[in-house]
Amino acid sequence: MTAAILEIHGLRVENLAGNVLVDNANITLMPGEVLGLIGESGAGKSTIGLAAMGYARGGCKITKGRVVIDGVTIQDLTAEGRAQFRGRRIAYVAQSAAASFNPAHCIMDQICEMPVHHGVRTRAEAEAWAVEMFRTLELPNPETFGARYPHQVSGGQLQRAMAIMAISARPDIVVFDEPTTALDVTTQIEVLVLIKSLIRDYKIAALYITHDLAVVAQIADRIMVLRHGKLVETDTTAHILHAPQQAYTKDLVEDRQSSDVFQERSLKSGREVILDASHITAHYGDFRVLNDVSITVAKGETVAIVGESGSGKTSLARVMVGLTPPTSGSITFLGQSLAGELKQRSREDLRKIQLIYQQPDVALNPRHTVGEIIGRPISLYFNRSKQAVRARTLELLAQVGLPADYIDRKSTALSGGQKQRICIARALAAEPSLIICDEPTSALDQLVADEILKLLQKLQDDLGLSYLVITHDLGIVRRIAHRTTVLLSGQVVASGPTGDIFKPPFHPYTEKLLQSVPELRESWLDEITAKRAGGPATG
Protein backbone atom coordinates (compact mmCIF):
# COMPACT_ATOMS: atom_id res chain seq x y z
CA MET A 1 0.00 0.00 0.00
CA THR A 2 1.49 3.35 -1.09
CA ALA A 3 2.02 6.30 1.27
CA ALA A 4 -0.69 8.89 1.82
CA ILE A 5 -0.32 11.97 -0.36
CA LEU A 6 -2.10 14.17 2.21
CA GLU A 7 -2.29 13.68 5.94
CA ILE A 8 -4.00 15.95 8.47
CA HIS A 9 -3.47 15.17 12.14
CA GLY A 10 -5.50 16.69 14.98
CA LEU A 11 -6.14 19.90 13.08
CA ARG A 12 -7.63 22.79 15.06
CA VAL A 13 -8.58 26.15 13.57
CA GLU A 14 -9.74 29.15 15.60
CA ASN A 15 -10.72 32.67 14.66
CA LEU A 16 -9.22 35.73 16.34
CA ALA A 17 -12.11 35.94 18.79
CA GLY A 18 -11.12 32.47 19.96
CA ASN A 19 -14.04 30.47 18.62
CA VAL A 20 -13.07 26.99 17.44
CA LEU A 21 -14.06 26.46 13.80
CA VAL A 22 -12.54 23.02 13.37
CA ASP A 23 -11.39 20.73 16.13
CA ASN A 24 -9.25 17.61 15.95
CA ALA A 25 -9.78 16.86 12.27
CA ASN A 26 -7.86 13.88 10.90
CA ILE A 27 -7.64 13.07 7.22
CA THR A 28 -5.61 10.58 5.26
CA LEU A 29 -5.81 10.87 1.49
CA MET A 30 -4.25 8.27 -0.77
CA PRO A 31 -3.02 9.18 -4.28
CA GLY A 32 -5.93 9.20 -6.73
CA GLU A 33 -8.45 8.86 -3.90
CA VAL A 34 -11.49 11.13 -3.62
CA LEU A 35 -12.70 12.04 -0.15
CA GLY A 36 -16.03 13.80 0.15
CA LEU A 37 -16.46 16.29 2.99
CA ILE A 38 -20.12 16.91 3.74
CA GLY A 39 -21.94 18.99 6.29
CA GLU A 40 -24.02 22.12 6.76
CA SER A 41 -22.51 25.58 6.50
CA GLY A 42 -20.45 26.20 9.60
CA ALA A 43 -19.49 22.58 9.75
CA GLY A 44 -15.95 23.65 8.92
CA LYS A 45 -15.58 21.70 5.69
CA SER A 46 -14.21 24.66 3.69
CA THR A 47 -11.93 25.54 6.58
CA ILE A 48 -10.45 22.04 6.45
CA GLY A 49 -10.13 22.25 2.68
CA LEU A 50 -8.16 25.50 2.96
CA ALA A 51 -6.17 24.24 5.92
CA ALA A 52 -5.07 21.35 3.71
CA MET A 53 -3.31 24.03 1.68
CA GLY A 54 -1.82 25.57 4.79
CA TYR A 55 -4.11 28.55 4.36
CA ALA A 56 -6.46 30.14 6.88
CA ARG A 57 -9.03 32.75 5.97
CA GLY A 58 -8.72 36.30 7.27
CA GLY A 59 -9.20 36.39 11.02
CA CYS A 60 -8.51 32.65 11.44
CA LYS A 61 -5.47 30.73 12.60
CA ILE A 62 -4.38 27.09 12.57
CA THR A 63 -3.68 26.62 16.26
CA LYS A 64 -3.07 22.88 16.46
CA GLY A 65 -2.28 19.84 14.37
CA ARG A 66 -0.11 19.06 11.35
CA VAL A 67 -0.79 19.15 7.64
CA VAL A 68 1.55 16.82 5.77
CA ILE A 69 1.69 16.82 2.00
CA ASP A 70 3.77 14.04 0.50
CA GLY A 71 5.79 13.79 3.70
CA VAL A 72 6.39 17.50 4.17
CA THR A 73 4.79 19.22 7.14
CA ILE A 74 3.83 22.58 5.68
CA GLN A 75 3.40 24.50 8.91
CA ASP A 76 7.16 24.16 9.24
CA LEU A 77 7.68 25.90 5.92
CA THR A 78 8.17 29.62 5.37
CA ALA A 79 5.48 31.62 3.58
CA GLU A 80 7.49 31.20 0.37
CA GLY A 81 7.81 27.50 0.96
CA ARG A 82 4.07 27.12 1.37
CA ALA A 83 3.48 29.23 -1.72
CA GLN A 84 5.57 26.75 -3.70
CA PHE A 85 3.25 23.92 -2.67
CA ARG A 86 0.07 25.74 -3.53
CA GLY A 87 -1.09 25.26 -7.07
CA ARG A 88 1.92 23.07 -7.82
CA ARG A 89 1.20 20.14 -5.48
CA ILE A 90 -2.28 21.00 -4.21
CA ALA A 91 -4.76 23.18 -6.11
CA TYR A 92 -8.13 24.72 -5.31
CA VAL A 93 -11.47 24.97 -7.11
CA ALA A 94 -13.74 27.55 -5.50
CA GLN A 95 -17.51 27.58 -5.16
CA SER A 96 -18.14 30.67 -7.25
CA ALA A 97 -15.94 30.77 -10.31
CA ALA A 98 -17.48 34.14 -11.16
CA ALA A 99 -16.11 35.62 -7.96
CA SER A 100 -12.84 33.73 -8.02
CA PHE A 101 -11.72 34.83 -11.48
CA ASN A 102 -10.13 38.25 -11.49
CA PRO A 103 -12.38 40.55 -13.56
CA ALA A 104 -9.36 42.57 -14.69
CA HIS A 105 -7.57 39.83 -16.63
CA CYS A 106 -8.60 37.56 -19.46
CA ILE A 107 -9.11 33.88 -18.71
CA MET A 108 -6.03 32.69 -20.56
CA ASP A 109 -3.75 34.92 -18.51
CA GLN A 110 -5.20 33.55 -15.31
CA ILE A 111 -4.94 29.94 -16.39
CA CYS A 112 -1.35 30.28 -17.57
CA GLU A 113 -0.25 32.30 -14.56
CA MET A 114 0.10 29.30 -12.28
CA PRO A 115 2.06 26.82 -14.44
CA VAL A 116 4.35 29.60 -15.66
CA HIS A 117 4.91 30.90 -12.15
CA HIS A 118 5.71 27.44 -10.84
CA GLY A 119 7.88 26.77 -13.84
CA VAL A 120 5.87 23.73 -14.90
CA ARG A 121 5.18 25.02 -18.37
CA THR A 122 6.34 27.94 -20.48
CA ARG A 123 3.72 30.47 -21.45
CA ALA A 124 3.51 29.03 -24.95
CA GLU A 125 3.14 25.47 -23.71
CA ALA A 126 0.60 26.54 -21.16
CA GLU A 127 -1.51 28.32 -23.77
CA ALA A 128 -1.37 25.38 -26.15
CA TRP A 129 -2.34 23.04 -23.35
CA ALA A 130 -5.18 25.31 -22.23
CA VAL A 131 -6.63 25.51 -25.74
CA GLU A 132 -6.42 21.73 -25.91
CA MET A 133 -8.35 21.47 -22.65
CA PHE A 134 -10.94 23.99 -23.84
CA ARG A 135 -11.50 21.72 -26.78
CA THR A 136 -11.82 18.51 -24.79
CA LEU A 137 -14.20 20.21 -22.35
CA GLU A 138 -16.24 21.47 -25.26
CA LEU A 139 -15.96 25.14 -24.43
CA PRO A 140 -17.21 27.37 -27.30
CA ASN A 141 -14.57 28.20 -29.96
CA PRO A 142 -11.60 27.01 -27.88
CA GLU A 143 -8.99 29.01 -29.84
CA THR A 144 -10.40 32.35 -28.74
CA PHE A 145 -12.09 31.33 -25.51
CA GLY A 146 -9.03 32.22 -23.44
CA ALA A 147 -9.00 35.77 -24.75
CA ARG A 148 -12.36 36.46 -23.14
CA TYR A 149 -12.93 38.09 -19.78
CA PRO A 150 -14.72 36.32 -16.90
CA HIS A 151 -17.84 38.45 -17.17
CA GLN A 152 -18.14 37.49 -20.84
CA VAL A 153 -18.73 33.78 -20.31
CA SER A 154 -21.44 31.80 -18.54
CA GLY A 155 -21.15 30.43 -15.02
CA GLY A 156 -20.88 26.82 -16.20
CA GLN A 157 -18.11 27.63 -18.67
CA LEU A 158 -16.29 29.62 -16.03
CA GLN A 159 -16.53 26.74 -13.57
CA ARG A 160 -14.98 24.44 -16.17
CA ALA A 161 -12.23 26.98 -16.85
CA MET A 162 -11.61 27.05 -13.13
CA ALA A 163 -11.19 23.29 -13.08
CA ILE A 164 -8.72 23.55 -15.96
CA MET A 165 -6.85 26.24 -14.08
CA ALA A 166 -6.67 24.00 -11.03
CA ILE A 167 -4.93 21.17 -12.86
CA SER A 168 -2.82 23.41 -15.07
CA ALA A 169 0.27 22.89 -12.90
CA ARG A 170 -0.26 19.11 -12.67
CA PRO A 171 -1.06 19.02 -8.95
CA ASP A 172 -1.33 15.76 -6.98
CA ILE A 173 -4.29 16.98 -4.97
CA VAL A 174 -7.22 19.22 -5.82
CA VAL A 175 -9.59 20.72 -3.27
CA PHE A 176 -13.08 21.12 -4.79
CA ASP A 177 -15.05 23.54 -2.61
CA GLU A 178 -18.75 23.27 -3.57
CA PRO A 179 -17.81 23.50 -7.26
CA THR A 180 -21.36 23.02 -8.54
CA THR A 181 -23.51 24.63 -5.87
CA ALA A 182 -23.85 27.95 -7.73
CA LEU A 183 -24.91 26.26 -10.97
CA ASP A 184 -28.22 25.32 -12.47
CA VAL A 185 -29.07 21.63 -12.27
CA THR A 186 -28.58 21.06 -16.00
CA THR A 187 -25.19 22.78 -15.90
CA GLN A 188 -24.27 21.13 -12.64
CA ILE A 189 -24.56 17.72 -14.20
CA GLU A 190 -22.16 18.63 -17.00
CA VAL A 191 -19.59 20.03 -14.60
CA LEU A 192 -19.93 16.99 -12.36
CA VAL A 193 -19.21 14.73 -15.30
CA LEU A 194 -16.23 16.83 -16.23
CA ILE A 195 -14.78 16.83 -12.75
CA LYS A 196 -15.23 13.12 -12.44
CA SER A 197 -13.44 12.49 -15.72
CA LEU A 198 -10.61 14.87 -14.83
CA ILE A 199 -10.03 13.12 -11.54
CA ARG A 200 -9.96 9.79 -13.28
CA ASP A 201 -7.88 10.78 -16.30
CA TYR A 202 -5.26 12.73 -14.36
CA LYS A 203 -5.06 10.41 -11.37
CA ILE A 204 -5.74 13.28 -9.01
CA ALA A 205 -6.45 12.84 -5.35
CA ALA A 206 -9.26 15.15 -4.31
CA LEU A 207 -11.06 16.62 -1.34
CA TYR A 208 -14.61 17.17 -2.57
CA ILE A 209 -16.52 19.59 -0.34
CA THR A 210 -20.30 19.92 -0.65
CA HIS A 211 -23.52 20.09 1.32
CA ASP A 212 -25.38 17.88 -1.16
CA LEU A 213 -25.13 14.19 -0.29
CA ALA A 214 -26.43 13.17 -3.69
CA VAL A 215 -23.69 15.09 -5.48
CA VAL A 216 -20.83 13.79 -3.40
CA ALA A 217 -22.21 10.28 -3.74
CA GLN A 218 -21.42 10.41 -7.46
CA ILE A 219 -17.76 11.25 -7.04
CA ALA A 220 -16.32 10.29 -3.68
CA ASP A 221 -14.73 6.97 -2.73
CA ARG A 222 -15.11 7.84 0.93
CA ILE A 223 -17.31 10.39 2.70
CA MET A 224 -16.57 12.31 5.85
CA VAL A 225 -19.58 13.84 7.61
CA LEU A 226 -18.86 16.96 9.66
CA ARG A 227 -20.93 19.04 12.03
CA HIS A 228 -19.99 22.12 14.06
CA GLY A 229 -16.36 21.59 13.17
CA LYS A 230 -16.28 18.07 14.52
CA LEU A 231 -16.19 14.72 12.78
CA VAL A 232 -19.51 12.89 12.85
CA GLU A 233 -18.53 9.81 10.96
CA THR A 234 -16.39 8.78 8.05
CA ASP A 235 -16.79 5.70 5.91
CA THR A 236 -16.98 4.48 2.34
CA THR A 237 -19.66 6.12 0.22
CA ALA A 238 -21.69 2.94 0.12
CA HIS A 239 -21.79 2.59 3.86
CA ILE A 240 -22.70 6.23 4.44
CA LEU A 241 -25.56 6.03 1.96
CA HIS A 242 -26.98 2.68 2.93
CA ALA A 243 -25.88 2.00 6.49
CA PRO A 244 -25.23 5.33 8.25
CA GLN A 245 -24.24 4.85 11.87
CA GLN A 246 -24.77 8.27 13.44
CA ALA A 247 -28.23 9.84 13.96
CA TYR A 248 -27.19 13.00 12.17
CA THR A 249 -26.04 11.11 9.13
CA LYS A 250 -29.28 9.18 9.13
CA ASP A 251 -31.27 12.46 9.13
CA LEU A 252 -29.24 13.75 6.21
CA VAL A 253 -29.83 10.62 4.18
CA GLU A 254 -33.52 10.29 4.97
CA ASP A 255 -34.27 13.93 4.35
CA ARG A 256 -32.45 13.79 1.02
CA GLN A 257 -34.47 10.79 0.02
CA SER A 258 -37.75 12.35 1.11
CA SER A 259 -37.14 15.25 -1.30
CA ASP A 260 -37.02 12.74 -4.10
CA VAL A 261 -40.52 11.38 -3.48
CA PHE A 262 -43.47 13.45 -4.65
CA GLN A 263 -46.21 14.36 -2.17
CA GLU A 264 -49.60 15.04 -3.76
CA ARG A 265 -51.21 18.16 -2.25
CA SER A 266 -54.70 19.38 -3.01
CA LEU A 267 -56.76 22.36 -1.90
CA LYS A 268 -59.41 21.67 0.74
CA SER A 269 -62.02 23.91 -0.88
CA GLY A 270 -62.38 24.89 -4.53
CA ARG A 271 -59.92 27.21 -6.40
CA GLU A 272 -60.75 30.81 -5.51
CA VAL A 273 -58.31 32.85 -7.65
CA ILE A 274 -56.88 35.89 -5.89
CA LEU A 275 -54.08 36.75 -8.33
CA ASP A 276 -54.53 36.62 -12.08
CA ALA A 277 -51.64 37.78 -14.21
CA SER A 278 -52.43 37.40 -17.88
CA HIS A 279 -50.23 37.82 -20.99
CA ILE A 280 -47.41 39.54 -19.11
CA THR A 281 -44.54 40.76 -21.27
CA ALA A 282 -41.65 42.65 -19.66
CA HIS A 283 -38.30 44.11 -20.75
CA TYR A 284 -35.00 45.10 -19.17
CA GLY A 285 -33.94 47.99 -21.37
CA ASP A 286 -34.65 46.50 -24.78
CA PHE A 287 -34.00 42.90 -23.73
CA ARG A 288 -37.24 40.92 -23.35
CA VAL A 289 -37.24 38.92 -20.11
CA LEU A 290 -40.89 37.82 -20.08
CA ASN A 291 -42.90 36.89 -23.13
CA ASP A 292 -46.67 36.57 -22.78
CA VAL A 293 -46.64 34.78 -19.43
CA SER A 294 -49.95 34.02 -17.69
CA ILE A 295 -50.38 32.55 -14.22
CA THR A 296 -53.08 32.42 -11.56
CA VAL A 297 -52.82 31.90 -7.81
CA ALA A 298 -55.77 30.81 -5.69
CA LYS A 299 -56.44 31.34 -2.00
CA GLY A 300 -54.42 28.96 0.16
CA GLU A 301 -52.59 27.69 -2.87
CA THR A 302 -48.87 27.34 -3.58
CA VAL A 303 -47.84 27.98 -7.15
CA ALA A 304 -44.25 27.19 -8.13
CA ILE A 305 -42.40 28.93 -10.94
CA VAL A 306 -39.58 26.64 -12.04
CA GLY A 307 -36.73 27.51 -14.32
CA GLU A 308 -33.00 27.97 -14.55
CA SER A 309 -31.10 31.23 -14.28
CA GLY A 310 -32.12 33.50 -17.12
CA SER A 311 -35.50 31.83 -17.46
CA GLY A 312 -37.19 35.01 -16.24
CA LYS A 313 -38.67 33.54 -13.09
CA THR A 314 -37.24 36.27 -10.87
CA SER A 315 -38.40 38.92 -13.35
CA LEU A 316 -41.89 37.53 -12.93
CA ALA A 317 -41.66 38.04 -9.20
CA ARG A 318 -40.43 41.61 -9.72
CA VAL A 319 -43.36 42.28 -12.03
CA MET A 320 -45.76 41.03 -9.39
CA VAL A 321 -44.40 43.32 -6.67
CA GLY A 322 -44.18 46.27 -9.05
CA LEU A 323 -40.42 46.65 -9.30
CA THR A 324 -40.47 45.88 -13.03
CA PRO A 325 -43.57 47.37 -14.66
CA PRO A 326 -44.76 45.06 -17.46
CA THR A 327 -44.67 46.42 -21.00
CA SER A 328 -47.94 44.67 -21.71
CA GLY A 329 -50.43 42.41 -19.94
CA SER A 330 -52.56 42.94 -16.88
CA ILE A 331 -52.57 41.83 -13.25
CA THR A 332 -55.78 41.41 -11.28
CA PHE A 333 -55.43 41.02 -7.54
CA LEU A 334 -58.36 40.34 -5.19
CA GLY A 335 -60.82 41.39 -7.87
CA GLN A 336 -59.32 44.73 -8.80
CA SER A 337 -56.59 45.45 -11.31
CA LEU A 338 -53.12 46.11 -9.92
CA ALA A 339 -51.01 49.02 -11.15
CA GLY A 340 -47.73 48.05 -12.80
CA GLU A 341 -45.78 50.93 -11.23
CA LEU A 342 -44.79 50.57 -7.60
CA LYS A 343 -45.51 54.25 -7.02
CA GLN A 344 -49.11 53.90 -8.22
CA ARG A 345 -49.93 51.03 -5.90
CA SER A 346 -51.89 51.85 -2.78
CA ARG A 347 -50.38 51.08 0.59
CA GLU A 348 -53.04 48.42 0.92
CA ASP A 349 -51.87 46.72 -2.28
CA LEU A 350 -48.32 46.83 -1.02
CA ARG A 351 -49.37 45.34 2.27
CA LYS A 352 -51.29 42.42 0.78
CA ILE A 353 -48.35 41.19 -1.39
CA GLN A 354 -45.14 40.43 0.49
CA LEU A 355 -41.79 39.20 -0.78
CA ILE A 356 -39.30 36.78 0.75
CA TYR A 357 -35.80 36.86 -0.68
CA GLN A 358 -33.24 34.20 -1.52
CA GLN A 359 -30.50 35.73 0.67
CA PRO A 360 -31.97 36.41 4.12
CA ASP A 361 -28.79 38.15 5.33
CA VAL A 362 -28.86 40.86 2.63
CA ALA A 363 -32.62 41.20 2.98
CA LEU A 364 -32.26 42.32 6.61
CA ASN A 365 -30.77 45.66 7.56
CA PRO A 366 -27.69 44.70 9.61
CA ARG A 367 -28.11 47.81 11.76
CA HIS A 368 -31.63 47.02 12.95
CA THR A 369 -32.78 44.76 15.76
CA VAL A 370 -35.17 41.92 15.13
CA GLY A 371 -37.86 43.90 16.94
CA GLU A 372 -37.43 46.91 14.66
CA ILE A 373 -37.44 44.73 11.55
CA ILE A 374 -40.64 42.87 12.38
CA GLY A 375 -42.32 45.75 14.19
CA ARG A 376 -41.96 48.26 11.38
CA PRO A 377 -44.69 46.88 9.05
CA ILE A 378 -47.07 46.64 12.00
CA SER A 379 -46.61 50.26 13.02
CA LEU A 380 -46.56 51.38 9.38
CA TYR A 381 -49.71 49.58 8.22
CA PHE A 382 -51.79 49.33 11.37
CA ASN A 383 -50.31 52.19 13.39
CA ARG A 384 -50.60 50.46 16.75
CA SER A 385 -49.25 51.61 20.10
CA LYS A 386 -45.67 50.71 21.04
CA GLN A 387 -46.78 47.97 23.42
CA ALA A 388 -49.24 46.55 20.89
CA VAL A 389 -46.48 46.42 18.25
CA ARG A 390 -44.14 44.67 20.66
CA ALA A 391 -46.83 42.21 21.69
CA ARG A 392 -47.62 41.40 18.06
CA THR A 393 -43.91 41.05 17.29
CA LEU A 394 -43.48 38.51 20.06
CA GLU A 395 -46.52 36.67 18.75
CA LEU A 396 -44.97 36.51 15.28
CA LEU A 397 -41.62 35.35 16.65
CA ALA A 398 -43.44 32.53 18.35
CA GLN A 399 -45.30 31.79 15.13
CA VAL A 400 -42.06 31.37 13.17
CA GLY A 401 -40.59 29.39 16.03
CA LEU A 402 -38.03 31.84 17.41
CA PRO A 403 -37.48 32.51 21.13
CA ALA A 404 -38.96 35.75 22.43
CA ASP A 405 -35.62 37.14 23.62
CA TYR A 406 -34.42 37.47 20.01
CA ILE A 407 -36.58 40.58 19.76
CA ASP A 408 -33.73 42.83 20.93
CA ARG A 409 -30.91 41.13 19.02
CA LYS A 410 -29.28 42.39 15.86
CA SER A 411 -30.12 40.13 12.94
CA THR A 412 -26.40 39.83 12.15
CA ALA A 413 -25.99 37.65 15.23
CA LEU A 414 -28.34 34.97 13.86
CA SER A 415 -27.89 31.95 11.61
CA GLY A 416 -29.16 31.77 8.04
CA GLY A 417 -32.23 29.74 8.94
CA GLN A 418 -33.14 32.08 11.78
CA LYS A 419 -32.73 35.06 9.48
CA GLN A 420 -35.05 33.52 6.93
CA ARG A 421 -37.59 32.94 9.70
CA ILE A 422 -37.37 36.63 10.55
CA CYS A 423 -37.95 37.51 6.90
CA ILE A 424 -41.05 35.34 7.03
CA ALA A 425 -42.20 36.96 10.25
CA ARG A 426 -41.68 40.39 8.66
CA ALA A 427 -43.84 39.30 5.74
CA LEU A 428 -46.53 37.94 8.07
CA ALA A 429 -46.50 41.16 10.06
CA ALA A 430 -48.15 42.87 7.10
CA GLU A 431 -50.93 40.25 7.24
CA PRO A 432 -50.71 39.65 3.47
CA SER A 433 -52.88 37.53 1.24
CA LEU A 434 -50.01 36.50 -1.04
CA ILE A 435 -46.37 35.88 -0.25
CA ILE A 436 -43.92 35.67 -3.12
CA CYS A 437 -40.95 33.48 -2.18
CA ASP A 438 -37.89 33.98 -4.40
CA GLU A 439 -35.73 30.88 -3.91
CA PRO A 440 -36.59 30.91 -0.19
CA THR A 441 -34.32 27.99 0.75
CA SER A 442 -31.58 27.79 -1.86
CA ALA A 443 -29.15 29.67 0.40
CA LEU A 444 -29.82 27.34 3.33
CA ASP A 445 -28.53 24.00 4.42
CA GLN A 446 -30.48 20.92 3.58
CA LEU A 447 -31.97 20.30 7.02
CA VAL A 448 -32.60 23.98 7.72
CA ALA A 449 -34.27 24.39 4.36
CA ASP A 450 -36.44 21.46 5.19
CA GLU A 451 -37.64 23.15 8.39
CA ILE A 452 -38.33 26.42 6.57
CA LEU A 453 -40.47 24.60 4.03
CA LYS A 454 -42.36 22.86 6.82
CA LEU A 455 -42.92 26.25 8.49
CA LEU A 456 -44.23 27.76 5.27
CA GLN A 457 -46.68 24.90 4.85
CA LYS A 458 -47.84 25.12 8.46
CA LEU A 459 -48.44 28.86 8.11
CA GLN A 460 -50.38 28.22 4.95
CA ASP A 461 -52.62 25.74 6.69
CA ASP A 462 -53.16 28.03 9.70
CA LEU A 463 -53.60 31.35 7.88
CA GLY A 464 -54.80 30.28 4.45
CA LEU A 465 -51.95 32.15 2.79
CA SER A 466 -51.14 31.85 -0.87
CA TYR A 467 -47.55 31.42 -2.04
CA LEU A 468 -45.90 32.12 -5.35
CA VAL A 469 -42.63 30.18 -5.06
CA ILE A 470 -39.81 30.99 -7.44
CA THR A 471 -37.26 28.15 -7.48
CA HIS A 472 -34.86 26.09 -9.55
CA ASP A 473 -35.08 23.13 -7.13
CA LEU A 474 -37.56 20.53 -8.29
CA GLY A 475 -37.27 18.86 -4.89
CA ILE A 476 -39.04 21.82 -3.33
CA VAL A 477 -41.65 21.88 -6.05
CA ARG A 478 -42.40 18.25 -5.55
CA ARG A 479 -43.00 18.82 -1.88
CA ILE A 480 -45.00 22.01 -1.54
CA ALA A 481 -46.46 23.14 -4.85
CA HIS A 482 -50.15 22.63 -5.76
CA ARG A 483 -49.53 23.97 -9.21
CA THR A 484 -46.32 24.45 -11.21
CA THR A 485 -45.31 26.61 -14.13
CA VAL A 486 -42.06 25.85 -15.96
CA LEU A 487 -40.32 28.80 -17.57
CA LEU A 488 -37.66 28.68 -20.26
CA SER A 489 -36.09 31.93 -21.50
CA GLY A 490 -39.11 34.02 -20.58
CA GLN A 491 -41.75 31.69 -21.91
CA VAL A 492 -44.05 29.16 -20.29
CA VAL A 493 -43.21 25.65 -21.48
CA ALA A 494 -45.49 23.77 -19.13
CA SER A 495 -48.12 24.71 -16.59
CA GLY A 496 -50.71 22.93 -14.48
CA PRO A 497 -51.21 20.91 -11.32
CA THR A 498 -47.84 19.72 -10.05
CA GLY A 499 -48.94 16.10 -10.31
CA ASP A 500 -49.52 16.43 -14.05
CA ILE A 501 -46.25 18.23 -14.63
CA PHE A 502 -44.30 15.41 -13.03
CA LYS A 503 -46.17 12.67 -14.86
CA PRO A 504 -45.37 11.69 -18.43
CA PRO A 505 -45.83 12.82 -21.12
CA PHE A 506 -43.12 15.39 -20.28
CA HIS A 507 -42.23 18.46 -22.16
CA PRO A 508 -38.61 17.69 -23.26
CA TYR A 509 -37.22 20.54 -21.19
CA THR A 510 -39.11 19.48 -18.09
CA GLU A 511 -37.75 16.02 -18.62
CA LYS A 512 -34.21 17.34 -18.86
CA LEU A 513 -34.74 19.26 -15.63
CA LEU A 514 -36.11 16.20 -13.88
CA GLN A 515 -33.26 14.00 -14.97
CA SER A 516 -30.70 16.57 -13.86
CA VAL A 517 -31.74 16.51 -10.23
CA PRO A 518 -29.07 14.40 -8.53
CA GLU A 519 -30.41 11.25 -6.96
CA LEU A 520 -29.00 9.50 -3.96
CA ARG A 521 -27.49 6.56 -5.87
CA GLU A 522 -23.78 6.15 -6.58
CA SER A 523 -24.58 4.99 -10.05
CA TRP A 524 -26.93 7.85 -10.93
CA LEU A 525 -24.48 10.05 -12.76
CA ASP A 526 -23.11 7.27 -14.92
CA GLU A 527 -26.62 6.13 -15.84
CA ILE A 528 -27.61 9.63 -16.89
CA THR A 529 -24.50 10.16 -18.97
CA ALA A 530 -25.00 6.77 -20.53
CA LYS A 531 -28.66 7.60 -21.21
CA ARG A 532 -27.85 10.88 -22.85
CA ALA A 533 -26.36 9.88 -26.13
CA GLY A 534 -24.08 12.71 -27.27
CA GLY A 535 -23.96 14.13 -23.74
CA PRO A 536 -20.69 15.57 -22.41
CA ALA A 537 -17.82 13.25 -23.32
CA THR A 538 -16.68 11.08 -20.46
CA GLY A 539 -14.52 8.76 -22.51
Partner 1 sequence: MALQNSLRNPPLSAKIGMAVLLFFIICAVFAPVIAPYGEAESVGKTWIGPSGEFWLGTDNIGRDMLSRIIYGARMTLGVAAACTLLSFLIGVTMGLLAAVAGKTVDQVLSRFIDLMLSIPILVFALMILSMLGSSLLTLIITIGVLDSFRVFRLARSIAVNIVVTEFVEVARLRGEGLWWIMRREVLPNALPPMIAEFGLRFCFNFLFVAGLSFLGLGIQPPFADWGGMVRENGRSIAFGIPAPLWPALAIALTTISVNMIVDWILSINARPSGASAEM
Partner 2 sequence: MLRLIITRVFLGCLTLFAVTLLIFVATEILPGDVASAVLGQGATPDTLAAFRIELGLDRPAYVRYLEWLTNAMQGDLGVAMTNKRDVIETLTPRLSNTLFLAGYAAAIAVPLAIILGVVSAINEGKWIDRAANVLTLGAISVPEFFIAYILILVFATNLGWFPSLSTVYADMGFWEKIYVVALPAITLTMLVMAHMLRMTRASVLAIMSQPYIEMAFLKGLPRRRVILRHALPNAAAPIISVVALNLAYLIVGVVVIEVVFVYPGVGQYMVDGVSKRDLPVIQACALVFGGAFVLLNTVADVLAILVNPRLRHPR
SS3 content of the chain, % helix, strand, coil (to 5): 40, 25, 35
87 binds partner 2 (CB under 8 A): yes
409 binds partner 1 (CB under 8 A): no
Q: Which residues contact 118 (CB under 8 A, 6 or more apart)?
A: 84, 87, 88, 169
131 binds partner 1 (CB under 8 A): no
410 CA to centre of own chain: 25
Applying CB under 8 A, which of residues 1, 80, 286, 343 lies at the interface with partner 2? Answer: 80
209 binds partner 1 (CB under 8 A): no
Cis peptide before 518 (omega within 30 of 0): no
The DSSP bridge partners found for residue 27 are 8
Angstrom distance (rounded) from CA 434 to CA 268: 18
Q: Which residues contact 333 (CB under 8 A, 6 or more apart)?
A: 274, 275, 276, 349, 352, 353, 434
369 binds partner 1 (CB under 8 A): no
Binding mask 18-37 for partner 1 (x = CB under 8 A): xx------------------
113 binds partner 2 (CB under 8 A): yes
Angstrom distance (rounded) from CA 476 to CA 274: 23
Is 99 or 147 the residue whose CB approaches partner 1 more closely?
Answer: 99
Is 245 or 412 the residue whose CB approaches partner 1 more closely?
Answer: 412
Angstrom distance (rounded) from CA 367 to CA 365: 5
Q: How far is the CB of 350 from partner 1 (least distance, A)?
A: 4
288 binds partner 1 (CB under 8 A): no
Applying CB under 8 A, which of residues 35, 91, 422, 525 lies at the interface with partner 2? Answer: 91
104 binds partner 1 (CB under 8 A): no
430 binds partner 1 (CB under 8 A): yes
Applying CB under 8 A, which of residues 17, 18, 58, 508 lies at the interface with partner 2? Answer: 58
Applying CB under 8 A, which of residues 28, 41, 63, 96 lies at the interface with partner 2? Answer: 96
Q: How far is the CB of 64 from partner 2 (least distance, A)?
A: 22
Surface-to-core class of residue 519, CB atoms within 10 Å of its CB (0-12 exposed, 13-18 middle, 19+ buried): middle
Angstrom distance (rounded) from CA 28 to CA 37: 12
357 contact, one of partner 1, partner 2, none, CB 5-8 Å limit per kind: partner 1
Torsion angle of alpha carbons 490, 496, 499, 505, nearest 10°?
-70
228 binds partner 1 (CB under 8 A): no
Is 166 or 220 the residue whose CB approaches partner 2 more closely?
Answer: 166
386 binds partner 1 (CB under 8 A): no
Helix (H, G, I), strand (E, B) or coil at 58: coil
Catalog residues that contact partner 1 under the rule CB under 8 A. Answer: 15-19, 55-61, 79, 82, 321-323, 342, 345, 347, 350-351, 354-355, 357, 359, 362-368, 376-377, 380, 413, 426, 430
